[in-house]
Amino acid sequence: MGRAKTNTTNKDHSANDKQTDKNACRGKIVLKKIKTEDLQKTRIASYGYLL
Amino acid sequence: MATFSNGSAYYDFRSVGQKKEVNELVRETFIYSFKSPKTRMRYMVEVEHYDCDLYALKFYLKDHQNSEERFNVLTNFNEARPVINTCIAILLDIYQKFSKASFAFIGSPSPKEIKREENDPRYRKENRTQRFRIYSTLMSTYFSEKYFDHHNSPKYSLYLMRNKQSEYTLKRMTEMINTIYDVDINDL
C-alpha cells in the first residue's frame, strides 16, 4: 500500500487531475467519480460483467 | 482452475484464517491463499475490513511475506491475469458474505517505478502506476455501475468501488481512506 512521501509535482497530469492535485497539496486524497463514458472507454468490451 | 461466468479463468482459493481487531482502524482481516498450478507458487491475499463497510484487498507471493516490499515486487511469472482474477474471485466471495461491502485498493508502485522517481523526481511513484492502470481496466470490465459507483484518485493510484447499498456517503468513505493512508501534509 502506498504512502505519499515526496514534494515533487508531476507536470503530466490531465486537466481532470488538477483539482485532485490542488487538494492533495492540503494533504488529502480526493476521490472523483468515474464517468460512465470513461468506464466504457477503459473496459475490455469483449468480456461480460460479473456484477 | 475455475472460470467466471464470462469465461475468465482463476485459481482455486481457500480461506486460511481471520485476524480480529488488528489495530484501531482494521476491524478484522480475512486471509486467503491459493497456489498457482502453473508455477507451483503460493500467493497470500489479505482482505482488511475497515469502518464504513470498507474492504481493502492486498496480495503477495508467500515467499515474500516477510519482505517490506512484498506489495511492490514483480514476480515475472507471467501469470498476472489468473492471479488478479483470483483476487477478484475473493472480492466476490467477500461481497457474497457482506452485501453492503465497498472495495478500495491501491496499485502499489513497482521497484522500477520507485527507482524512476529516484532518478527523476518529476515522477511520483504513486502516480497512476502500472498496477493501478491494470486494476482499473479490470474493475471497469468486470463490475458494472448497477451495484457499485466507481471512484479513483490517479494521483495516489487509488480506486474505490462504493457499494450503492452502502449507508455511508462518499465523503465519509474518503475521510476513512485518508485516515487509513495517513497522507501527511509535511511529506508532500
Q: What is the pLDDT of residues B130-176, one digit of tens each?
A: 999 999 999 999 999 999 999 999 988 999 999 999 999 999 999 99
pLDDT given for residue B74 in this prediction = 83
Please indicate if any CB of chain A lies within 8 Å of the CB of B167: no
Mutate which of A7, A9, A26, A29 to test chain B, going by most B C-beta atoms within 10 A? A29
Comparing C-alpha atoms, which of B127, B90, B98, B97 is closest to residue B16? Answer: B90
Q: Are B37 and B56 in contact, with CB atoms under 8 Å apart?
A: no
Cell numbers given for B154: 490517479
Chain segment A2-48, per-residue pLDDT in tens: 333 333 344 444 444 444 444 444 468 999 999 999 999 999 999 99
- Indicate yes or no: CB of B153 within 8 angstroms of CB of A32: yes
pLDDT given for residue A15 in this prediction = 44
Comparing C-alpha atoms, which of B8, B163, B15 is closest to residue B84? Answer: B8
Rounded Cα distance, B173 and B151, in Å = 11
Rounded Cα distance, B19 and A25, in Å = 35
Residue of B nearest to A7 (CA): B188
Rounded Cα distance, A26 and B85, in Å = 36
Instruction: Please report, for residues B25, B106, B138, the alpha-carbon distance to residue B56 in angstroms, rounded to integers and kept in the order given.
Output: 12, 9, 16
Facing residue for A8 by CB, picked from B6, B106, B122: B122
The parts of chain B modelled with pLDDT lower than 50 are 183-188
From B36's Cα to the closest Cα of chain A, the distance in A is 22
pLDDT given for residue B21 in this prediction = 80
Mutate which of B54, B155, B173 to test chain A, going by most A C-beta atoms within 10 A? B155
Rounded Cα distance, B52 and B170, in Å = 10
Chain B partners of A13 at a C-beta cutoff of 8 Å? Answer: 154-155
pLDDT given for residue A28 in this prediction = 84
- Indicate yes or no: CB of B158 within 8 angstroms of CB of A34: no
Q: Are A20 and B124 in contact, with CB atoms under 8 Å apart?
A: no
pLDDT given for residue B124 in this prediction = 67
SS3 B138: helix
Residue of B nearest to A43 (CA): B141
12-51 of B, contacting A, C-beta below 8 A: none
pLDDT given for residue B119 in this prediction = 81
